[in-house]
Amino acid sequence: MKLIIPMAGRGTRVRPHSHVTPKPLLPVCGTSMVERIVDTFSKVLPRPITDGVFVLGPDFGQDVRDALTDICDRHDARANFAVQDVALGTAHAVGCAGDQLEGEGIVVFADTLFFMEPGINLSDSDVVAWVKHVDDPSRFGVAVREGDRIVALVEKPQELISTEALIGIYYVKDLAILREAIQYLFDNEITGVGDEYQLTDAFDRLLKSNHVFRTATVTEWLDCGTIEALAETTKFIIRHENKPVPEGSLKDAVVHSPVYIGENVLIEGGEIGPDTSIESGARISDSTIKGGVIFSDATIKNANLNDSMVGRDASVTNFEGMLNVGDHSEVSGTR
């Protein structure tokens, strides 16, 4: 079983935190988005993951490949890499996986997090598309069903034909047929919304060739595409996992649960929480932090922060209010 994960985008809507780190590798309560995706499928699929296939941007460095290889190693899978030189749509992103599109696999876009129940039935379908009910389907691709079978896939419908939004997760029994369908789009310059090659068009071609499509559902679908969405998703994960505070993290400090506090964090004085995530290695002294995310190895002194995001290795001193500052930055206020 392969996981095909397109992640070539630079995550412009979560800048400045994606300037250095690709969005799928940003941590959410100690675990990167992409590893959370691999974790989920490791738990719910009927067969083990053998390969992770990551479609990267052309400027992604060896550190990104090393991080993804480590994730695969932890899940007893092989790491494979492809490059999407230019962004020409979702079908183009998947098509860049090339010869890796063979055998059975899951195609999943690393833009969201999700929860699903184990025991997924993959045995009687050529394609399984994961969906979630939404009140306004006009912003999404949707699956149109008759009984338990999908009969049409429509990108961003302007009429109410279905409320089952496609969430960017697909099981494909034979990835080679998907590769052929994508190549057909390329050869015939068939583009869709945004004048780009759309994966829903490739799947629609398979659907019209009488391949069996069914749906599966998720229990939660969490957006990570913007700063605001990432903050809300982090808050949800903090409450859902409710992990204990590591011993030795606090010195004369007060914590209002729930919070996430990573390894090797030191908090001296002040108050933390609720709904606050502090990643590994951060140092915080004489500060109050309510909500938000403090990324790894950040330093905060004499500050009062509300719903803020402080980047990796950033330094904040004498600041009060809401703040969004990127990696390796320094902010000094007059508090």
Is residue 313 included in any domain, yes or no?
yes
Is residue 56 included in any domain, yes or no?
yes
Instruction: Please check whether residues 101 and 190 belong to one and the same domain.
Output: yes
Chosen domain end from 173, 202, 228: 228
Instruction: Please check whether residues 290 and 253 belong to one and the same domain.
Output: yes
Chosen domain end from 228, 257, 287: 228
**Which range of residues forms the domain containing residue 34?**
2-228
**What average pLDDT does range 149-167 have in this prediction?**
85
Q: Is pLDDT at 20 greater than 70 in this prediction?
A: yes
Cβ neighbours around 331 below 10 Å, total = 15
Q: Is pLDDT at 144 greater than 80 in this prediction?
A: yes
Instruction: Please check whether residues 155 and 67 belong to one and the same domain.
Output: yes
Determine whether 39 is exposed, middle or buried from the number of CB atoms within 10 Å of its CB (0-12, 13-18, 19+): middle
Instruction: Please check whether residues 80 and 138 belong to one and the same domain.
Output: yes
**What average pLDDT does range 264-275 have in this prediction?**
96
Which pLDDT score is estimated for 136?
83
Highest mean pLDDT among 94-103, 139-148, 153-162: 94-103
Q: Is pLDDT at 211 greater than 70 in this prediction?
A: yes
Instruction: Please check whether residues 183 and 255 belong to one and the same domain.
Output: no
Instruction: Please check whether residues 213 and 267 belong to one and the same domain.
Output: no
Which pLDDT score is estimated for 18?
67
State pLDDT tens for residues 72-129.
999 999 999 999 999 899 999 999 999 999 999 999 998 789 999 888 889 889 999 9
Q: What distance in Å separates the CA atoms of residue 97 and residue 82, rounded to the nearest whole number?
A: 6
Is residue 308 included in any domain, yes or no?
yes
**What average pLDDT does range 57-65 have in this prediction?**
92
Is residue 81 included in any domain, yes or no?
yes
Is residue 238 included in any domain, yes or no?
no
Q: Is pLDDT at 321 greater than 80 in this prediction?
A: yes
Instruction: Please check whether residues 217 and 250 belong to one and the same domain.
Output: no
Chosen domain end from 228, 255, 283: 228
Is residue 233 included in any domain, yes or no?
no
Which pLDDT score is estimated for 200?
87
Which pLDDT score is estimated for 134?
87
Is residue 234 included in any domain, yes or no?
no
**Domain CATH code at residue 317:** 2.160.10.10
Which pLDDT score is estimated for 138?
79
Give the total number of structural domains in the chain.
2
Instruction: Please check whether residues 22 and 85 belong to one and the same domain.
Output: yes
Instruction: Please check whether residues 67 and 181 belong to one and the same domain.
Output: yes
Q: Is pLDDT at 11 greater than 80 in this prediction?
A: no
Which pLDDT score is estimated for 97?
97
Over the chain, what HEC string results? Answer: CEEEEECCCCCHHHCCCCCCCCHHHCEECCEEHHHHHHHHHHHHCCCCCCEEEEEECCCCCHHHHHHHHHHHHHCCCEEEEEECCCCCCHHHHHHCCHHHCCCCEEEECCCEEEECCCCCCCCCCCEEEEEEECCCHHHCEEEEEECCEEEEEEECCCCCCCCEEEEEEEEECCHHHHHHHHHHHHHCCCCCHHHCCCHHHHHHHHHHCCCCEEEEECCEEEECCCHHHHHHHHHHHHHHHCCCCCCCCEECCEECCCEEECCCCEEEEEEECCCEEECCCCEEEEEEEEEEEECCCCEEECCEEEEEEECCCCEEECCEECCEECCCCEEECCC
Instruction: Please check whether residues 160 and 277 belong to one and the same domain.
Output: no
Is residue 240 included in any domain, yes or no?
no
Q: Is pLDDT at 19 greater than 80 in this prediction?
A: no
Instruction: Please check whether residues 194 and 251 belong to one and the same domain.
Output: no
**Domain CATH code at residue 86:** 3.90.550.10
Q: What distance in Å separates the CA atoms of residue 106 and residue 97, rounded to the nearest whole number?
A: 13
Instruction: Please check whether residues 221 and 269 belong to one and the same domain.
Output: no
